[in-house]
């Protein structure tokens, strides 16, 4: 795919997402279509990236002693696979509440993805836990049965509100590639609620994608969105079904510190943006900020 065809594909995706974002009806159509196609598109999905992220999550939990038996865990934006909650649950006897704004679960693709864990190398004790977990999933007939067996809870709130959760409720909060999709207007409110529902001294682990999701599957720079003004981005590219807030690393760090979180560990990943003509609205950011395409944070209340 040439850069020109990549740019055309980029614009085409933007147009399609814009059309699906027209109103409540079109957004529901987008979600129903996604659920309809998921068993096909996700049938032979490669789980290597998710396994790598899951291993990082477990490693960070061990390093910072985030997980103990009977801890209460909260996952923001659990997605169709519940992957990170599931990964924690394989190796830890904890209760997990999994939160999302719409139900896009797929039972058969989920079972197939979990079965693929047997193809990965683990230490002997961990390998036994993985094998036992795959047996539990194979013996379950539905998500609901699995939830009951593993002490998992699935909570849907279309508005994304966390007000139903009591203050000081959870020992650990996690999210992976979710925070970049929270709208700017409500971001501080959501972060404040995460702080509120976390127990004193509790920990958060967030992995945030700072890349341009419209550029996925193209040869465009992973931070292509840096070339567009807020007005142009809002008019042509941003949408409600694949919203990207375009916050940079320093924006996230400032937002977390503002509500009271302590930043315990920061793990950024970088790309090169020398080929991009950065719009003047982003020139206030440092070179480190602009080159950062991914950020994993460990926070403490």
Query: How far is the C-alpha of 171 from the C-alpha of 168, rounded, in Å?
Result: 8
Residue-wise pLDDT tens digits, 226-265: 999 999 999 999 999 999 999 999 999 999 999 999 999 9
pLDDT over 80 (residue 194)? yes
Residue 14 has what DSSP assignment?
H
Site of tokens 């909260």: 74
DSSP assignment letter at 80: T
Residue 226: its pLDDT value, please?
Answer: 97
Distance CA 276, CA 289 (A): 14
pLDDT > 90 fraction of the chain, expressed in percent and rounded: 89
Among 202, 228, 201, which residue's Cα sits nearest to residue 215? 228
Question: Is 80 exceeded by the pLDDT of residue 188?
Answer: yes
pLDDT value for 45: 86
**From the centroid of its chain, how far is CA 61?**
17
Can you tell me the distance from the alpha carbon of 264 to that of 300, in angstroms, rounded to the nearest whole number? 7
- Say how many C-beta atoms besides its own lie within 10 A of residue 260's C-beta: 14
Is 90 exceeded by the pLDDT of residue 103?
yes
**Residue 43 predicted with pLDDT over 80:** no
Hunting for tokens 């000081």 — which residue is that?
168
pLDDT of residue 40: 79
Give me the pLDDT at residue 37, please.
83
CA neighbor of 251 nearest in space, from 187, 190, 202: 187
What residue spans define the domains of the chain?
A: 42-210+247-300
Class of domain 42-210+247-300: alpha beta
Confidence of residue 275 (pLDDT cuts 50, 70, 90): confident
Number of H helices, E strands in the chain: 11, 7
Mean confidence (pLDDT) of the chain? 95
CB 240 within 8 A of CB 183: no
Which two structure tokens, joined as six digits, stand for 60?
């960070």
d(CA 79, CA 156): 11
Asked if residue 54 lies in contact with residue 87, where contact means CB atoms within 8 angstroms, the answer is: yes
Question: Binning pLDDT at 50, 70 and 90, where does residue 39 land?
Answer: confident
Per DSSP, 237 falls in state I
Distance CA 265, CA 215 (A): 28
Cα separation, 101 vs 240, whole angstroms: 13
pLDDT (tens digit, 9 = 90+) per residue, 104-155? Answer: 999 999 999 999 999 999 999 999 999 999 999 999 999 999 999 999 999 9
- pLDDT tens column, 164-181: 999 999 999 999 999 999
Reported confidence tier of residue 2, pLDDT bands at 50, 70, 90: confident
Which tokens is 73 given? Answer: 């865990």
Judged by DSSP in three states, 42 sits in: coil
């Amino acid at each position: 795919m040439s850069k020109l065809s990549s740019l055309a594909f980029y614009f085409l995706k933007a147009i399609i997402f814009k059309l699906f974002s027209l109103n409540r009806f079109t957004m529901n159509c987008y979600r129903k279509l996604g659920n309809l196609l998921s068993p096909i598109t996700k049938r032979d999905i490669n789980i290597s990236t998710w396994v790598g992220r899951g291993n990082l999550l477990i490693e960070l939990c061990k390093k910072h002693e985030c997980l103990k038996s009977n801890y209460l865990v909260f996952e923001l934006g659990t997605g169709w696979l519940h992957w990170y909650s599931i990964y924690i649950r394989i190796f830890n006897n904890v209760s997990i509440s999994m939160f999302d704004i719409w139900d896009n679960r797929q039972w058969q693709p989920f079972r197939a993805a979990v079965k693929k864990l047997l193809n990965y190398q683990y230490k002997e004790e961990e390998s036994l836990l993985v094998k036992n977990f795959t047996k539990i999933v194979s013996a379950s007939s539905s998500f609901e049965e699995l939830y009951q067996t593993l002490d998992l809870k699935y909570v849907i709130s279309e508005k994304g509100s966390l007000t139903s959760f009591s203050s000081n409720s959870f020992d650990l909060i996690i999210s992976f590639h979710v925070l970049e999709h929270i709208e700017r207007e409500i971001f501080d409110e959501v972060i404040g609620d995460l702080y509120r529902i976390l127990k004193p001294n509790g920990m958060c682990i967030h992995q945030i994608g700072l890349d341009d999701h419209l550029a996925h599957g193209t040869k465009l720079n992973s931070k292509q969105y840096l070339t567009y003004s807020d007005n142009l981005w809002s008019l042509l590219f941003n949408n409600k079904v694949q919203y990207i807030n375009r916050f940079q690393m320093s924006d996230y760090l400032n937002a977390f510190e503002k509500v009271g979180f302590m930043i315990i560990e920061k793990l950024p990943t970088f790309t090169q943006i020398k080929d991009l003509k950065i719009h003047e609205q982003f020139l206030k950011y440092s070179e480190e900020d602009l080159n950062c395409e991914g950020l994993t944070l460990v926070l403490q209340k």
